[in-house]
Amino acid sequence: MAVISMFFGIIVSMYFFDRDRHHLPHIHVKYQEQEAFLSIPEGTLLEGQLKSNKMKLVQAWIEIHQDERMANWDLASNGEAIFRIEPLR
């Protein structure tokens, strides 16, 4: 697992070769004891939950960084190093 961004206590990560469980591009988001999986590029909730105010922050970050997240997914799917993405400010 590689952390790609952190903001306001939210950790966004991506796993290498992670197509088996959800069968489509996605990110893992953690906030305290909560965890959610969201699709790329739409940001649709696939599994889990986050507090609604944290989910709104994540969705804003998703909207801003669509291209970078998809580029990272392509790299991770091929087992290559991924890059950090600017946090929400």
33 and 26 Cβ atoms separated by less than 8 Å: no
Contact of 61 with 12, CB cutoff 8 Å: yes
pLDDT of residue 1: 75
- What per-residue confidence (pLDDT) applies to 53? 97
Nearest to 4 by CA among 55, 53, 57, 71: 71
Judge whether 58 and 50 are in contact, CB under 8 Å: yes
- pLDDT (tens, 9 = 90+) of the chain, 89 residues, equals 789 999 999 999 998 776 566 568 889 999 999 999 998 878 899 999 999 999 999 999 999 998 999 899 888 888 888 999 999 98
Residues 76, 38, 56, 41: what is their CA dihedral angle, to the nearest 10 degrees?
A: 60
* Whole-number pLDDT of residue 21: 60
pLDDT for 79: 83
